Chain A
């Protein structure tokens, strides 16, 4: 079956015949290994992507069912020349050790900040509850989001975000 999806703004049609996950198609067929494959059961969040604006585990999306959808992966958020603010902040606080969980945290974190630019520590915890890190103990990751959540001088008055 030919499936048409848009990944990070580009048309990326692919051919799939079984119930393969979007995760395996991204990594195997579309050459986008930034999205990580760990548990394949929705538990770890390392495969997190946005699918038509919704935060999902790509291991739980049947690839054929994504026909017509827009997908954003970590590769669409930043690269070596222009890191995403979440990536900058995680670098600054040393929130990366082995790095396997990082793409998932970056995508989930960017999704949160798009909707809620100044999340409270509890909101950050809840938003990242589906992402597991085996290395850092979360302290440095949490601190990265504390940096990001601080109101910036250029921002509009606080209190207006929902």
Chain B
């Protein structure tokens, strides 16, 4: 196995330009599970955890190398809430948001927040330079993204108009160390409500019909909230798998969205 510990972004981009198949290693909490259990033997690995260009975080840019432990203190409330629910202290200390995006699991707990924030993924390569890809063009299927083989995820670019009022919640079989059965982020801003969900479609999704229902209503009444839960349940596209059933995921989607709208209500 060839191994490069990239010192900076140039290093990482150089290796990826020469060897697009080289596996990027950040926290390793997804990659090493593949190595240990699926006997994945990468021919070439580039470690990016020392790359300082990926480490920075501010309100508008979250470096790909930022860990969940760091994000537990994020000023974006729902992102901090999501970070607190990822794995265990041992996972959050090294697992990164860039790895979550790179894996692009439907259950990735960082992804509904990115969708609700209407954030973009900043990627870079020697050949194409930097590209800013809107989240809904980046995530294209189950563990599938539009990242080119020679590209590295640099950061999440957060628009300036992300509402302050925002909440995250997830449902799983227990409280700690659990992969989401359904996850949800609701934001309330000047332009109305935004509702994003995870684990209920191949990619994170926005519940646009439910958003339209809320945003055309004058008051958030009990009957409206009931209808909202209904619309969300119908709008999601979950499957039955080893973690849960389609029917339960539909139900839980409606319940979560309703609960978070209540929590963000003025």
- The CA of A160 and the CA of B95, in the complex, are separated in Å by 30
- A54-B93, A67-B5 as given contacts; A59 in contact with B87, CB under 8 Å: no
- Does B45 have its Cβ within 8 Å of any Cβ on chain A? yes
Q: Which residues of B contact A62 (CB under 8 A)?
A: 25, 28, 31-32, 35, 45, 47
- Does A10 have its Cβ within 8 Å of any Cβ on chain B? no
- The CA of A40 and the CA of B28, in the complex, are separated in Å by 12
- Does A64 have its Cβ within 8 Å of any Cβ on chain B? yes
- Does A45 have its Cβ within 8 Å of any Cβ on chain B? yes
- Does A158 have its Cβ within 8 Å of any Cβ on chain B? no
- Does A30 have its Cβ within 8 Å of any Cβ on chain B? no
- The CA of A57 and the CA of B32, in the complex, are separated in Å by 11
- Does B224 have its Cβ within 8 Å of any Cβ on chain A? no
CB distance from A86 to the nearest CB of B (A): 15
Contacting pair A54 B91 (CB below 8 A): no
Contacting pair A61 B90 (CB below 8 A): no
- Does A96 have its Cβ within 8 Å of any Cβ on chain B? no
- A54-B94, A64-B3, A130-B90 as given contacts; A18 in contact with B41, CB under 8 Å: yes
29 A-B pairs with C-beta separation under 8 A: A18-B41, A19-B35, A19-B40, A19-B41, A19-B42, A41-B33, A42-B33, A48-B90, A54-B93, A54-B94, A55-B90, A55-B93, A56-B90, A56-B94, A57-B29, A57-B90, A60-B27, A60-B33, A60-B90, A61-B94, A62-B31, A64-B47, A65-B5, A65-B25, A65-B49, A127-B89, A130-B89, A130-B90, A130-B177
B positions within 8 Å CB-CB of A: 1, 3, 5, 25, 27-29, 31-33, 35-37, 40-42, 45, 47, 49, 87-91, 93-94, 176-177
**Complex A-B, nearest 7 residue pairs according to Cβ-Cβ distance, in ascending order:** A130-B88, A129-B176, A40-B36, A60-B32, A54-B93, A130-B90, A65-B47
Q: Given A21-B32, A42-B87, list of 13 further CB < 8 A pairs?
A: A19-B1, A19-B40, A19-B41, A48-B90, A54-B94, A56-B90, A56-B93, A59-B32, A61-B28, A62-B28, A108-B89, A130-B91, A130-B176
